[in-house]
Structure formats: C-alpha cells, structure tokens
Chain A
Amino acid sequence: MAVTIDDVRHIATLARLGLTDARAAAIVAELNTILEHMDELAKVDTAGVEEAIGVGAEGLPVRDDKGPPFPLARSLDAFAPSVRDGFLLVPRLSTHESPEEA
C-alpha cells in the first residue's frame, strides 16, 4: 500500500501539522520506506488471535465518587499562554463552528 502526497496532506490535516510542500514530499518517501517493512505483518496468520489489550493489567480499577480534586500547585495563569477572567483564550471561532470545522 503506497502512500501518496494527497494521503500525506490528508493525515497532516487530521494531525494538525502544518507541512510545507517540500517536507510533505520528503515524508511520502520516508513513510513508504517504513511502511514497506510493515508489509511483513500481512503474511502472518492471526486468525482467531485476540488483540493485545491492557498488557499486564487486571480489569479496570474504579474510584469512589468523591473529592478532593488532585491539587494544582500553580493556577492556570502560571502556565497557560492566554488567560482572561479565568477563561482560556483561543482565536475566535464563529458561533456555529463545530469540531469538524475547527
């Protein structure tokens, strides 16, 4: 399965990585070389084999529905790039912009 420049642009969008055309072109070659090695896996018989889930862990631990919350040694202002009146600020979205549009 060969990766094309369109594939790279598409996944770069999904990953919100701005790639220059030059870089994108280089990545096509890099990914294809790497993915070639992955083709070995296609030959392996995995019929009926369960996917490895939670390697080394035994069932899901749960916690009681109570606090106190895990404390922060410093408030948001100390490390957030842009805070005002307690809100985090980002470039403005139009009101109806949905996650798919962002």
Chain B
Amino acid sequence: MTTAESKSVLDRWEMVVGLEVHVQLKTRTKLFCACSAQFGAAPNANTCPVCLALPGALPVVNKQAVGLATRASLAINCEVQPVSVFARKNYFYPDSPKGYQISQFDKPLALRGWIEIGTRSDSSPIRIGVNRVHMEDDAGKSIHDRFAGVTAVDLNRSGVPLIEIVSEPDIRSAEQAGAYLRVLKQILEYVDVSDVNMEEGSLRVDANVSARRRGDTKLGTKTEVKNMNSFSGVERAIEVEFARHVSVLEAGGVIEQQTMLWDGSTVRPARSKEGSHDYRYFPEPDLPPLILDQGWIDKARHDLPELPAARRARFATDYKLGDYDVEVLTSTPRLADYYEEVARAHGEPKAAANWVMGEVMATIKTSGEDISRFRVRPADLASLLGLVRDGVVSHTAGKQIFSHMVATGDQPAQIAEREGLVKVDDDSQLSAWLDEVIAENPNEAERFRNGEKKLQGVLIGAVMKKSKGRADPRKLNQLLTTRLTS
C-alpha cells in the first residue's frame, strides 16, 4: 500500500487495539510452591509435587508475589481490590501439568488503571486505560525440535508467578501500541517487580485487533494476535492484522473471531478447533479469597518507588536538565540512580550529565554490561570530575583517565599520577614548551605578534600537543600573551 493509499484507508477506518501483557514477577520462589523461580536450571530440576501436579498436591500462595503484583497495579494507577478470588482456567496442554491454570477471573486483583503514553498537540495527555491486572501461574516450556518426533517438556517455569495486564481497547495506532509497551516496561522496571525482558520471556504481549469505520462507536469483531518477540514486532503485526481486517471488511466479508500467529512478516490463523476455548472458569476451591487490608494497600501505594514521570520532573527541577538529557538519564532506574549519585557527589549536575551520557553510556553500550555492575562507581567518577573541575587534569586527560578506570578499576588521582597526566602549570616548563613551539613556528608566532589573534589557537594547540595535553591552558594563554605582545 502506498502512503497515499494507507492515508485514505485511515480516513475511512479506525484501528482499535487492546494489549494483554504477561509479566513474570521476580520472586525467588514460585507462586504456589517453594521451588526456585530462577532461570537456567537443568530441565525439571526445579519441581516438586505441587508444580508437577502430583495427585494430592495443593497450592500455597507466595506473599512476595502478592506484594509485587500489588505494587505493579498501583504503579499503573489501578484500584487494588480488597477481595480478589483465584479461579481455575481449565485446558489441556503438556506444559500445563494440572490441566488447569490458577488465574483470576471475575474478581481480579486490580481494576480501572491507566498509563500516560504521551501528549496530544493541545498538550492534553494521551491515556490508555488498564481494564484489569490479575495474578496467575506460568506454564512450563514445550520444546519441539530437541528430539526427533517428540516434544520435550520442561516444567521449571511451571508455577512461576505472572501478572496479566489487560488494557482497554484505547490504542489507535501501532505507534501508540509501541509507546504503551515502552512506558509500561519502564514503569515496571522502576518499581522493580520484573526483569521485563521480552527477549528472555519475562514480558509477553498478545494484541487484540479490530477495525471499525470512522465515526462508528460500536467495536468490530476482534482477533487475537500472538507470538511477537519484540515491541517493533508488535507494532508491525498490529499493522498487518489491521490491514487484513480492512481488506476483508471492504470486500464485504466478516471477520472471524480467531487467534492469529505472527511469524515475523505475516499473520496466519492458529489451527484452533471449534469450541476449544471454553475454559470453564470457576473459583479455585483450594484457595480461599485473597483479602487485602485497605491500610496495607495504602501503605503499599505510599511506599511505591519513585515512578518515571516523577523522576523526570524532579531531574528537570533539581538538576536543571533539559528534556533530552532528562529522557536519556531516566531511561532506566539504575542509570538514573547512577547519574544521581555522581551529580550529588560532584555537585555540578550538568557536567555529571555530560560525562554519564557521553563516556559512561558509550562504554556500557559497547561492553553490553549492566550499569549497576559498571566498574567505574559513581563516587569514583565524581572524583574524576572533581579533578577536571579543579584544573588538576585537563578535560582531554580526564577522558584518558576514564579509559584507565574502566580497564583497571583504579582511582582517578592514582591513575593521573601514574600516567603523568597531572596538569602542568609550572611557568618554567610551560615557557620552555612555548619557546620550542615559537621556534618551530616562527611565521605563525610573528603573525600573532603582529595582531592576528586567531592564531592563538594554533600556538596553544601546538603546546598542548607537545605536552600531551597536560599544559594548563589558562596559564599558557597568559604566558603566550606576555611573550608575544610587542
């Protein structure tokens, strides 16, 4: 479709999208048993009667999972319900050992939240509603290509706690869908409930897509799109599915309510058998209702870590940083923490921002490491910045020292001494270098003496080079002026 064609489609048709996001909570143990929830163990090593669904086993709820689920719900402005009820979702699959998932159905943990994903041209916020958040246990993993002719099942993941965040069908474009996911991921990272890593599987997205004629208020038949592996994959899949809806509807057809699978470039229907989606939900008889004290919920809201929006506002006010710097420095909570420690220790937020956004982030990007494990600790970086500010080393030397710090983890002052990078402001040494430069560049020196002030840079630069960046530029300027003023 050409841009003109797609534009006119959008004149006639409106995309309506809701997203269901599954998030693995970062607890130590599983939701209903004390098996480790950590990734990476040998197949079926983290299992017990409960998560293997042996006859006679019973679930017991993990307190921390409830806490993290509550925190996540509050962070996206939901109303956490004082009473919620676990329910069985019945279906057969080899990685679902009980033959049912324990989820929540008509009484979920939280309702009626929202996420702000941007602002409109009139500065009003764009909010995507969150219909509900509920808790449930994850399924195991089915691996189809490890052994010929059979599917291999690993139940280590079976029982890991999940929350499912269901948005309202408020999303109107692929771009909005992407924004929703990025904002949601950032919020969940900030409140430290999950690794929210789509590549690793701690965050999964299903999209519900429908189309309706512009001006219609009724919702069209929706289809569910699954199997996307990245946020951009979600955006593309939504666009492709929307286009399919439009072409079917414009040709006078009807959209069949079904599940579609994304394969990276197209959608195809899942081979679902008729009537196989009847989950026969009923309240979980092995678990009494979850009753949360309102005081406990209020305290959880009060104790929420600073959310991204609040942190951004604070960075702008406290550190007087511009939008771009704020955006970059708050992109993850650990980066923001790092920056703040440097800024506070050093006392000059802008300088700290430049160095963190520059040197630090460039290094991290190349090495791929996590900033919370970055070798250059905030206090040490602040020391370095102090040396630069106080003129002990030049800015250029500072960068060299930084490289050494990354490589060795040593202190900046130590490195400066060892590598001979301490700034030279000794008059006799500076004069000596200056004399050499003047001798080597007699024409430039003469022209400068005769009034061509712009050659100052050339002469100073030559001395800096000769001194391997150690010459104190200010002193040097004074000396030059004194030497070459007639």
Whether B35 contacts A69 by the Cβ 8 Å rule is yes
Chain A residues closer than 8 Å to B63, beta-carbon distance: 62-65
**A residues 65-96 touching B (CB-CB < 8 Å):** 65-72, 76, 82, 84-96
**A residues 3-27 touching B (CB-CB < 8 Å):** 10, 13-14, 16
Range for the number of chain B residues in contact with chain A:
35 or more
Whether A14 contacts B280 by the Cβ 8 Å rule is yes
Interface residue from B85, B94, B151 paired with A53 (Cβ < 8 Å): B85
Chain B residues closer than 8 Å to A68, beta-carbon distance: 34
Whether B275 contacts A62 by the Cβ 8 Å rule is no
Chain A residues closer than 8 Å to B34, beta-carbon distance: 63, 66-70
Docked Cα-Cα span, A96 to B271, in Å, equals 9
Closest to B154 in A: A87
Whether B150 contacts A96 by the Cβ 8 Å rule is no
Could you tell me the distance in whole angstroms from the C-beta of B75 to the nearest C-beta in chain A? 19
Chain A residues closer than 8 Å to B226, beta-carbon distance: 98
Whether B48 contacts A96 by the Cβ 8 Å rule is no
**B residues 88-118 touching A (CB-CB < 8 Å):** 90-94, 96
Whether B45 contacts A86 by the Cβ 8 Å rule is yes
Chain B residues closer than 8 Å to A48, beta-carbon distance: none
Chain A residues closer than 8 Å to B457, beta-carbon distance: none
Docked Cα-Cα span, A82 to B143, in Å, equals 15
Whether a CB of chain A sits under 8 angstroms from the CB of B318 is no
Main secondary structure of the interface of B (DSSP, over half): loop
Whether B60 contacts A76 by the Cβ 8 Å rule is no
Range for the number of chain A residues in contact with chain B:
35 or more
Whether a CB of chain B sits under 8 angstroms from the CB of A100 is yes
Whether a CB of chain A sits under 8 angstroms from the CB of B128 is no
Whether B259 contacts A100 by the Cβ 8 Å rule is yes
Whether a CB of chain B sits under 8 angstroms from the CB of A102 is yes
Docked Cα-Cα span, A60 to B150, in Å, equals 40
Whether A98 contacts B49 by the Cβ 8 Å rule is no
Contact flags (1/0) for B367-406 with A, using CB distance below 8 Å? 0000000000000000000000000000000000000000
Chain A residues closer than 8 Å to B145, beta-carbon distance: 95
Interface residue from A13, A89, A99 paired with B93 (Cβ < 8 Å): A99
Interface residue from B36, B47, B152, B277 paired with A89 (Cβ < 8 Å): B152
Whether a CB of chain B sits under 8 angstroms from the CB of A40 is no
Whether a CB of chain A sits under 8 angstroms from the CB of B64 is yes
Which residues from chain B sit less than 8 Å from chain A, CB to CB?
Answer: 27-29, 33-36, 42-50, 52, 60-66, 85, 90-94, 96, 142-147, 149-155, 226-227, 259, 261, 270-273, 275-278, 280, 283, 285, 287-291
Q: Which 10 A-B pairs have the closest CB atoms?
A: A65-B64, A87-B152, A54-B288, A86-B43, A62-B63, A99-B93, A100-B272, A88-B153, A70-B48, A69-B35
Which residues from chain A sit less than 8 Å from chain B, CB to CB?
Answer: 10, 13-14, 16, 51, 53-54, 57-72, 76, 82, 84-102
A-B contacts besides A54-B288, A60-B288, A69-B35, 16 pairs, CB < 8 Å: A14-B90, A53-B283, A60-B287, A60-B290, A62-B61, A65-B63, A67-B29, A72-B49, A87-B146, A88-B94, A90-B150, A97-B271, A99-B91, A101-B276, A102-B93, A102-B94
What are 24 A-B contacts with C-beta separation under 8 Å? A14-B280, A51-B283, A57-B288, A59-B288, A62-B60, A65-B27, A65-B28, A65-B29, A65-B62, A67-B35, A69-B33, A70-B34, A72-B48, A72-B52, A76-B44, A86-B44, A86-B45, A91-B150, A93-B142, A93-B144, A99-B92, A100-B91, A100-B276, A101-B272
